[in-house]
Amino acid sequence: MKFASEFRDPALAKALLARIGGVADQIGATREKPVHIMEICGGHTHSIFRYGLDKLIHPGVEFIHGPGCPVCVLPMSRVDECVEIAMRPGVIFTTFGDAMRVPGHKMSLMQAKAAGADIRMVYSPLDALELARRNPDREVVFFGLGFETTTPSTALSIQAAAREGLTNFTVFCNHITVPEPIKALLDDPDMMLDGFIGPGHVSMVIGTHPYDFIARDYGKPIVVAGFEPTDLLQSVLMVLTQIAEGRAAVENQYARVVPQNGNPVSLAAIADVYERRPSFEWRGLGEIDASGLRIRPKYRAFDAEEKFGIGYAVGRKVVEEPEGCACGAVMTGRIKPTACPQFGKGCTPDMPLGALMVSSEGACAAYWQYGGSRGLAAE
Ligand code: SF4
């Protein structure tokens, strides 16, 4: 298949749905006793809702939405630290647009911009680098945010800044990794997960081997998936087939994009620029060992935490989530967004309480955008 329309072919989707139904019946999955499949990536959550797969699929298959939206898992304290840096005199703070409206304890970056901070949206860290070249008398800070998908481009910008000897470019590093929170979820005795849909874009960088522990140590199937409806349906079928056959393996449905061993150029840039933090705070999951990356000492001059004396460089403040906010429970798949008491009441895309309502990969945004009043009434 070559074209997007082929991956959205209704006849193919119907055939896959029928096969999923057959295997679900075979293993005895019902609405009352469903198979719980976690899609780790927020991009998958949005595809599932955009194409209505949650409504079309056998009632014995329940999608559990995972913590794979990097903006959503950022704790409020990190947003506060962004605002603090952006408010410093002489700073141009650059960020992807997704992070602009994420609420901090006092304000979002959007509100800080309205209050006078020089905050600019960029499409790439290389745009921030170009701003630093053009503004040698200003401090340009890039908000490095995201999983392994965006980690390499930030690394390449730091390497370029080092080569050019730039002294006014730094990165506020919030890059995180996927396997560690999955391990944390699997270690949680309250989580009842039967299998995983693995992230497509992250795996394009890291390959499929970092997930081996999921099958080997926990006996759960995981299938790395693409983002089109038939990709997702085929991946669900592959997970169910493993369960029906009593096996657990790492399989790659997205082989047209994901190489088994990842992307060597990206992996080399990551290894050169970053090292693991001992732990990193995740919204809703708390501190998770070795789940965050920081800039290696040899690139310290490009580390905003070091330059501005902020965050993990000086010890961090824990900031409580707003009252009644259930972001943590939604992000760990314990409840659906519509079960949050704030959904559609105290929290809407116009007046968000949590990042899940404003991020393009947030589960609450998916329910709001594609569920509408039906979503509200569903639970
Ligand atoms: S509705 Fe708002 S407060 Fe509730 S979980 Fe979603 S983002 Fe968080």
Residues 57 and 195 in one domain: yes
Q: Which residues line ligand 1 (CB under 6 A)?
A: 325-327, 330, 337, 340, 342-343, 347, 353-354, 356-357, 364
User: Which amino acid is it at 270?
Assistant: I
Burial class (CB in 10 A: 0-12, 13-18, 19+), 196: buried
Residues 108 and 53 in one domain: no
**Is 116 domain-assigned?**
yes
**Is 185 domain-assigned?**
yes
**Is 264 domain-assigned?**
no
Pocket test for ligand 1, best of 45, 98, 340 (most atoms within 8 A of CB): 340
Q: Cα 92 to the chain's mean position, in Å? A: 26
**Is 261 domain-assigned?**
no
Distance 92 CA to ligand 1 centre (A): 30
Residues 224 and 247 in one domain: yes
How many whole angstroms separate alpha carbon 72 and alpha carbon 284? 9
Ligand 1 atom with the smallest distance to the CA of 364 is 6
Distance 378 CA to ligand 1 centre (A): 16
Residues 172 and 183 in one domain: no
Contact 184, 205 (CB under 8 A): no
The domain boundary, picked from 199, 233, 252, lies at 252
Q: Which helix (H) or strand (E) holds 198?
A: strand 195-198
Ligand 1 atom with the smallest distance to the CA of 363 is 6
Length of the chain in terms of residues written: 379
Distance 335 CA to ligand 1 centre (A): 11
> What contacts 213, CB < 8 A, 6 or more positions away?
179, 183
Residues 60 and 94 in one domain: no
Return the CATH number at 27.
3.40.50.11750
Residues 91 and 172 in one domain: yes
Distance 356 CA to ligand 1 centre (A): 6
**Is 274 domain-assigned?**
no
Q: Give the DSSP letter string of 202-239.
A: HHHHH-SGGGHHHHHHH---EEE--SSHHHHHHHHHHH
Q: Which domain holds residue 187?
A: 4-69+179-252
> What's this model's pTM, rounded to 2 decimal places?
0.90
Q: Going residue by residue through the chain (379 aa), what tens digit of pLDDT does each one get?
A: 777 888 999 999 999 999 999 999 999 999 999 999 999 999 999 999 999 999 999 999 999 999 888 888 888 889 999 999 999 999 999 999 989 988 888 899 999 999 999 999 999 999 999 999 999 999 999 999 999 999 999 999 999 999 999 999 999 999 999 999 999 999 988 888 999 999 999 999 999 999 999 999 999 999 999 999 999 999 999 999 999 999 999 999 999 999 999 999 999 999 999 999 999 999 878 889 999 999 999 999 999 999 999 987 777 666 677 777 888 889 888 899 999 999 999 899 888 888 899 888 899 999 998 874 434 434 4
Residues 108 and 166 in one domain: yes
Number of domains in the chain: 3
Pocket test for ligand 1, best of 69, 320, 347, 348 (most atoms within 8 A of CB): 347
